[in-house]
Amino acid sequence: MLKATKNIIGYLPDERPSWGKLILFAFQHILVMFPATVLVALLTGFHISTTIFASGLATICFILVTKGKIPLYYGSSFSYIAAIIGITCIGSVGEIASDNLIGQAQFGIILSGFVSIGAGFIVNAFGFDKIQKVLPPVVTGPVAMIIGLSLAGTAMSQASGYNAVLGTVSDTSWAVAIITLIAIIVYTVVFKKGVLSQLPILLGIITGYIAALLSDWVFQTNMVDFSNVFTQGFVNLPHFTLPIPSWTAVFAIMPIALATIPESTAHLFQIDLYVNDLAKKKNTTKSYKINDKLGLNLIGDGVGDIVSGFVGGPAGTNYGENISTMAITKNFSVWVLGAAAIITMIISFFTPLANLIYTLPSAVIGGASIYLFGVIAAQGIAIMIEKKVDLFDAKNMAIIAVILIFGIGGTFLFGGVIPLFGMELPAIATASIAGILLNASFLIGGVIAAKTKKTQNVEE
């Protein structure tokens, strides 16, 4: 295990902070992943405590499978929501589906994990260079951008306290969200050294939380509700369910795994970019070739889905929010992610701890999300800059344009599910596949043109 180089703030994947710092950094990761992970459970009808537990367990399994070489956190994926709802058939947000329907969805989730594992072995067999022709930076960069930008509406809705029924917003929510956002920006810019430089997201959320408490005290706004913290006992087992064979669930859920490969690839590119930048600044002689581990990453993703599916959790992915947190804090320690996963599993058993995190006002989460989701999008731009993508090339522009508009337009016009030829296709997955197919058509066209030209030269 390496020791962090002095005077350079940040931790490489194999570096471990002291135990006190480790716990603080871990809680920061939990706070940024918690809202989205819980939201997936609320939208799909899965049990929240089980979803939280599955997230932590799948992360531990991912770390073990990848031998601690890839610093990523596993959380519930938004790409699978429409397919899972088609199986669980819930009618409203927060409704819990029957064990039978959750079990059927679990079966599809588990088999989707095997798809990711198979894709990982294919990548390992053919090598990263050949795979990069199918998933070049001109595809993965825009995919990373739409992952962040497609969540912009969620961030703004939370920050504004938007009421969809009445079409109103809350000035109090805006105030708390802006305080949270400004606090995170200030902490990120001002704190350049020491432990505080590693905790801008956590500190910003705490600042926003204090602002909400003060608002409740002074203006009686009731933004923070502690009434449910101790209403469900102290220790409760997560509601585990068993998978139930269902071919309907398999055909609905399993194909989504193929569509999430570009997203996973984009995440890997992002991590590689920032880890190696930090390694360069720390003058380390060790090489972190995370890009070369795409196959291993996909295998780890698949194992995470299988583990999550077996205990009753939704399908997942590497979380962009946690990647943003690592990029902002320059803390890529796998030890921190492992600690976050273990603490998350513990929280799932101790109901008051989970309920205490639920008391975070949506305005605070919204303020933090504006920054985090924006950073995800910015990382997509960084990928294209780092890989020197020619933005004046007509083919590149076509690929980028299609991905951005399908992804962003599909999200904001159709709510993330594009109605197309009688099907309902996830916007981000559809945008990714469209970009891959367009890039492939250009590659095939180029090969055909080259062969035709070579044949003409021979005949002449």
pLDDT of residue 38: 80
Q: Which two tokens stand for residue 273?
A: 């970019």
Give the H/E segment covering residue 318: strand 316-318
What does pLDDT average to over the chain? Answer: 88
Report the percentage of the chain scoring pLDDT > 70: 95
Q: Which positions ≥6 away from 220 have C-beta within 8 Å? A: none
pLDDT of residue 209: 95
Q: How far is CA 13 from the centre of its chain?
A: 18
Lowest mean pLDDT among 21-30, 220-229, 337-346: 220-229
pLDDT of residue 362: 86
Residue pLDDT, tens place only, 337-356: 999 999 999 999 988 877 78
pLDDT at 407 over 80: yes
What pLDDT band is residue 92 in, cutting at 50, 70 and 90? Answer: low
pLDDT of residue 3: 47
Q: What average pLDDT does range 145-158 have in this prediction?
A: 85
**Which residue intervals of 254-293 are DSSP H helices?**
256-259, 261-281
pLDDT of residue 6: 53
Q: What average pLDDT does range 214-224 have in this prediction?
A: 95
pLDDT: which is higher, 144 or 216: 216
The DSSP code for 406 is I
pLDDT: which is higher, 457 or 284: 284
Q: What average pLDDT does range 260-277 have in this prediction?
A: 85
Residue pLDDT, tens place only, 42-88: 778 898 899 999 999 999 999 999 999 999 999 888 778 767 877 88
Count of CB atoms situated within 10 Å of the CB of 376: 25
Sketch the domain layout of the chain as residue ranges.
Answer: 19-448
pLDDT of residue 346: 93
The CB-based long-range contact list for 447-456 (8 Å cut-off, 24+ gap) reads none
pLDDT of residue 176: 97
Judge if pTM exceeds 0.85.
no
Q: How far is CA 355 from the centre of its chain?
A: 23
What b/e readout covers 191-223, taking b as 16+ CB neighbours within 10 angstroms? Answer: beeeeebbbbbbbbbebbbebbbebbeeeebeb
Angle between helical axes of 351-358 and 48-65 (0-180°, round to 10)? 100
Residue pLDDT, tens place only, 318-333: 887 899 899 999 999 9
What pLDDT band is residue 253 in, cutting at 50, 70 and 90? Answer: confident
Determine phi and psi for 239, rounding to 5 degrees: -85, 90
pLDDT: which is higher, 436 or 252: 436
What pLDDT band is residue 363 in, cutting at 50, 70 and 90? Answer: very high
Lowest mean pLDDT among 9-18, 44-53, 126-135, 375-384: 126-135
